[in-house]
Structure 1
Amino acid sequence: MTTSETSPHRFLPPEGSYAPAILLAWPHADTDWMPILDRVDRCYRDITEALTSLEIPVLIVHPDADEIRRSLPSTVAKSVMPFNFMTNDTWTRDYGQITVKDNDNWIACDFKFNGWGLKFAADRDNLVTSALHNAGIIGGGYEN
């Protein structure tokens, strides 16, 4: 059964269309970025500053996201929502929710990333979307 058969009004908005926030999984010591963590951290700070300067809210996922937020300049931190959670990796396009629209309702679709054919661990990453939903951060509908 195809999605159009179950809901003919459901569609995936194009990349670049409205999003209420940007999801960033911040690098930490238990990711592949460990050898250059200081440089990558600086890059993520620059990305976060650029997004918030455009008034785009940023949702940061990190084992100590509260500390990351506290370390940002106040003008940046006010547009950052921290979510304390352990991840395997930072590439949220591999495991973050895919949000579709069904009539006037937004639905966060959770899926399971296989770590490129089990080449890389993704067990923590695969819990991010459901944890955000269970915490009430991802609103609207939810499909697993």
Structure 2
Amino acid sequence: MIGTTWGQVQAIAPFIIVGIGISVLLSRQVTILSLNEDVAVGLGLRTVYVKIILYIVIALLAGASVALVGNMAFIGLMIPHIVRAMFGIDYRTIIPMSAIWGAVFMLLADTLGRTMNAPYETPVVAIIATIGLPFFLFIVRRGVKLQP
């Protein structure tokens, strides 16, 4: 985030807006696809078509966000898991709530980074990594325990 200018934001914003719009439009199909691919095909979903579009949208959004703010992978790992636990498995809810909760989390991390070691500023990436790594390890460990 250090050194990002408004010109860069203006250049990348259209890609992010289009990607989020397509994500919201396909959220129902993603929810159906997350059940099971056989169920999705049985419900008439063209899974190959939806997957190709989603891969393109994922690459577009990931590339745009990394180009704008750098690699903050833990945001993409933590926030959707937290939102899914809070709001359920429907991606029509998960996608917009992930955007809102991700923004709130970034604001809190930035505020903590600015106040924790005042008058010096701790990088937001360090705050996110400090919170994100234990969370990610918890998710991985919990996932291993759930398998028979």
Normalised by the length of structure 1, the TM-score is 0.29
Higher Rg of the two aligned structures: 2
Higher relative contact order by CA 8 Å / sep ≥ 6: 1 or 2? 2
